[in-house]
Each structure stands twice: as structure tokens, then as C-alpha cells.
Structure 1
Amino acid sequence: GYVGEAPATTAVANGMVRVKVLAQVNTEGSAIVVDKDSSTSTILDLRGKTVAVPGYSTVQDFLLQKAVAKWGLKQKDVGITVLKPPEMIGALRTGQIDAFIAWEPYPAKAQTMGVGKVLLYSRDIWKDHPCCALVVSEAFLEKRRKDAIAVIKAHTQATDFINQNPEEAIAIGVKYTGMDERTVRLALKSVNYTYHLSVEGEREYVKFLTSLKYIKVNDPDVFVKNFIDQSVLKEALAK
């Protein structure tokens, strides 16, 4: 299935599930959003403020923590609260939170609704960072490898279609999400769809999640080698 790479990493490292990453889904595609009338103009202005994340050890939590470290703040400088992305825009509008970080289309929707403005896109925090990945249970891969290859093949074809037919992809997005074209178009501008795996990106997740004490991995290289299976994608692309 399609999952965030950071929470999948956390789940596997903590022994909660046994899955492998077979393909990337997208890179980038998140943003930190503040109130449209806020005087907040840099990440440093979030000192003493409350920022909503979708959950701890999510890609967005990881990105916020990385931004805090990158711009010289400490974890304790920013208050973090957990909210579901559909609740974030309303919480920002009513002043319950000062900012949020979420995946698209919520940053785009906050803008088109006239509620928020983007403080930082995730590409500004970590360019080309892995976001979502396609994973499969080890048991399924062992017993039904041909089916796993077929799924990955369909995934690569869908990804190529999106990249080669952006206008049609927008129309499909409008049809099946019920959102207006402006929001869908704006959301897709910050998402890079790709199936190519990022071993180095996963290694970065492991190292940073370990530093945050979300996971404990003694050898990141060994973990990444076991977690990412590049052979299925290679077989799918060869067909």
C-alpha cells in the first residue's frame, strides 16, 4: 500500500510490522502554513508558537524537526500538537494553532480558502526528500512476487501518465476529489511524482529518526539495505 516513508521506517525499526519498500510514490509535497495575516516570515518566528503536525514520526513531523534544527532553533522552542490534516485549516483560522505542516492538498486549500500562506515548502527544508512510498509485507512478497511486480508495474505506468499528461491529471484530480481546479493545480505544483527509490533519502530518515530517539538503529546501512528492495522495481521496468 501507499504510506509515508518516515512512519513506515519507524514501524519497521520498532518491530511493529515486517514490510519492504518497493517503489517511491513522490518526493516533496508538504508545506508549513501560517495565518495569511500573520507577521511570521521565517522559521525563527515560530519560537514560542504552536505548530500542528499530523502525528509523531510522520514525514511532516520529521520535516518540522529538521527545519527547527536547520535554522538554529531547539526542539523546546516550538510547541507541537497533533491534529488530523482536515482539522488544521479550521484550527488555524480560529487561532487554536499558529501554524501547521501537512501534505498537499491542505497547504493549497488553506491558500485558496484565504486562510493561510506558505511559510516554507518542504523542498526549502530538504530538497527532493522522499515522502510516500509503496510498501508490501514480506509475507506477500515471498508468496506472491509476480503479483507484487504487477502492482509496481501499474504504479510506474500511472506515475508516467501523471508526469506526461499534467492537464489531464489535474482534471482527474478535480473529478475524484471534489476540489476546485485552482486548489488541485496549486497542490500538484509542489509534488514530484516518481517511482525511483531514494536509498540516500531513506538513510537520512534513519539517522535523523534515531537522533530524535523515535527509533534505535545501530547500523543505518544494514537497515536500509534490508528495508528497501530494489529488485521488484527493476523487474517491473524490464517488462
Structure 2
Amino acid sequence: MRRDLILAALAVGLVALIALGCLGTDSDKAKITTLRIGYQPSTHQVAEMVAMEEGWWLADLKPFGIEEVKDFEFPSGPPEMQAMLGGSLDIAYVGAAPPISAIAQGLDAKIVAAVQKNGSDLVVRPEVAYDGPKSLVGRTVATFPPGSIQDTVFRKWLLDNGVDPDGLDIKSMDPGAAVTAISAKRVDAVFLPHPAPSIIELAGNGKAVVASGEMWPDHACCCLVVSGKLMREEPELVEQIIKTHIRATEFINENPERAAAIYTAKTNQNLTVIEHSIRSWDGAWISDPHQIIPSVTEFARVNYELGYTGGKLLGVDDLFDTTFYDRVAS
């Protein structure tokens, strides 16, 4: 009898604690009210900018409890993924290679949609004699940091053509620093995403000689990454995020001039340069994640061989969750 009374008292006390908010239940999880988005100042990721500047992020996500949307600019993908690893971002527009290294480091996130493919150029100074990848041996080339799309594509292209990347002086730079470096003749060439190649060409400081789609046809470039926490706790919100992304992608493809104007307003870059970039690049804005799975898994293999993933060879299930997109697109 005494034992029964003690258990009954404990049960009453537990109910009281829950009622007072001292203990939580699964249904008590705090709803997200601010969505934090990472992006880079590249025409590759103009879908994020369109959705932001047109007010679609906030309008579309308000019914799911979102009261504020903040976006944060990063110079390249690796630092953006470090921010996500640190818990500072909920979703990210980013090249498809940096999440591979980040997930290998323990990032709880997956690729849920494609953003764009191809879209980077190798640009050499006008006075540099370029005659294929072997002519770059001994040259100084600036590109994004190790583990980025540009670093991965460039190094694989060199290896595919029998060139040891160690035979070049490959310098890690963000796009602004790389544009400055080639303009000041501190590097012989750069391999950068648009609009940087157009900025360099229109200033007369370089000539695009190889597009990334020639190096690696139809390679994945940017993707949409969502935190695992958001996917588990707010699946309907994630579905709407993908719907809004698809809407913005379709808008860009139907209204490239308007997209160029939005990009210019967001980044304070020259409209003529941005229009030239959109006309001249070999990229394409897409949203279906299934289109990029083959090249992303190849990125994972290349990054594993380059030593960027700590000895971990990641596969499709490690990197992708296509179920949200599939539900939205069905």
C-alpha cells in the first residue's frame, strides 16, 4: 500500500511539473519563427534573391509560423557550410561540393533540391598563351577554396587531362579577391562562377577560354541544403520552401532580364555586366535534385580521393533527401 501511495504521488507531481512548464513533451518543441538563409553573390543563386526581393519567402512561409526571413551573404561555399555546422543557418544556397565535406564532418543536413548546373569559366590574362590544360603548368591560377565546386571541377579536369594539380600554383580566393588579382596581374588565370568571368572580360582584363560545362558536361553546381532539424520538425515548412524555390526558378527562366535587375539591386553590381553574364554563361537554373545526383556522387568520390572528406566516401543516402521535392512535384 505504501509503495502504491508513493507511485501515485510521483505521478501527480509529474503532471503538475508538466502543467507548470517545468518539463517538456514532444509537442512542446519551440516553433521556428525566423528562417535563416545562406547564399553567395553569384548569378548561380539568383533564385534566392528573387524570392527574397519579391517578398515570396515571407509571404509563402507566414502560414507556417515564419515571422521573419534573414539572408546572409558568404564569399564561397566552405565558410557558408562552416556557418551551417555552427548552427547559424537553417537552409543554404551553396555549391554541391561544400556540403559533402561538411556532412563528412558531421553536418546534420541534406540536399533537397537542385539550384543550377555548369556556369563557371576559366579566364586567362590577355597576354597569357593558353593552349589547353597542359599550358597552365607553372602558372598561378586563383579559384575557390578546397572542397568548393570550382576547386573540385578544376582539379578533376586537370587530372583527366594528365596534369598534376601540384604543377600549378593554385591559390584559394573568393571572387572579389580573384577578380582583383587577375586585374592587377598577380595571377595568370582564374576559374570562377558567373558573373565574375563577365566582370573580368568586359573590363579587358582577361578572356574566357573554357566553360565548366566543357570540363565536366552538365555537372551539378549549386543546390539547396536544409538542416536535418528543420526536416524532422517542420516537414510541411520544408515542402513550402521547395515550392517557393521552384517558383523562383521558373520565374528566372521566364524573366531573365527581371532576374538580372533583381540581382543588380541586391548586389550593387553593374546591370550591363550581369545581363552579359546571363547571356554568355553555359549554366542553367534547375530545381529537380534527381538531375544532379550522378555528378554530386562523383564529386563525393573526387573529394574523397583529394582527401577532403576525412577518409569517408559518402553516397546518395548520405547527401540527399529527395522525398520533399518528390511530394511537391507529384
TM-score normalised per structure 1: 0.92
Q: Are the aligned partners of 1:206 and 1:217 in contact in 2 as well (CA < 8 Å)? A: no
Query: Aligned pair 1:232/2:324, yes or no?
Result: yes
Q: 1:135 aligns with which of 225, 247, 272?
A: 225
For residues 295 and 129 of structure 2, the distance between their equivalents in structure 1, rounded to whole angstroms, comes to 33
Q: CA deviation at 1:175?
A: 3.4
Q: CA deviation at 1:56?
A: 0.9
Q: Are the aligned partners of 1:60 and 1:101 in contact in 2 as well (CA < 8 Å)? A: yes
User: What is the SS of the residue equivalent to 2:97?
Assistant: helix
**1:90-239 superposed matches below 5 A:** 90-189=180-279, 190=281, 191-197=283-289, 198-215=292-309, 216-218=311-313, 220=314, 223-238=315-330
Query: Percent identity at matched positions?
Result: 27
The amino acid across from 2:305 in the alignment is: S
User: What is the SS of the residue equivalent to 1:33?
Assistant: strand
For residues 201 and 165 of structure 1, the distance between their equivalents in structure 2, rounded to whole angstroms, comes to 28
The amino acid across from 1:201 in the alignment is: S
Q: How many residues align?
A: 234
Q: CA deviation at 1:77?
A: 1.3
Query: Which stretch shifts more, 108-117 or 175-184?
Result: 175-184
**Partner residue, 1:14:** 105
**1:47-86 superposed matches below 5 A:** 47-86=137-176
Q: CA deviation at 1:75?
A: 2.0
The amino acid across from 2:308 in the alignment is: Y
CA deviations over 1:76-103 (Å, ceiling 9, x no partner): 2111111121011221122211111111
The amino acid across from 2:267 in the alignment is: T
Greater Rg, structure 1 or structure 2? 2
Q: CA deviation at 1:152?
A: 0.6
User: What is the SS of the residue equivalent to 2:163?
Assistant: coil
Unaligned runs of 5+ in 2: 1-91
For residues 6 and 187 of structure 1, the distance between their equivalents in structure 2, rounded to whole angstroms, comes to 23
Q: Are the aligned partners of 1:112 and 1:182 in contact in 2 as well (CA < 8 Å)? A: no
Unaligned runs of 5+ in 1: none
The amino acid across from 1:38 in the alignment is: V
User: What is the SS of the residue equivalent to 2:187?
Assistant: coil
CA deviations over 1:42-94 (Å, ceiling 9, x no partner): 22211001111221111010011011112211122111111121011221122
For residues 29 and 163 of structure 1, the distance between their equivalents in structure 2, rounded to whole angstroms, comes to 15
Q: Are the aligned partners of 2:183 and 2:200 in contact in 1 as well (CA < 8 Å)? A: no
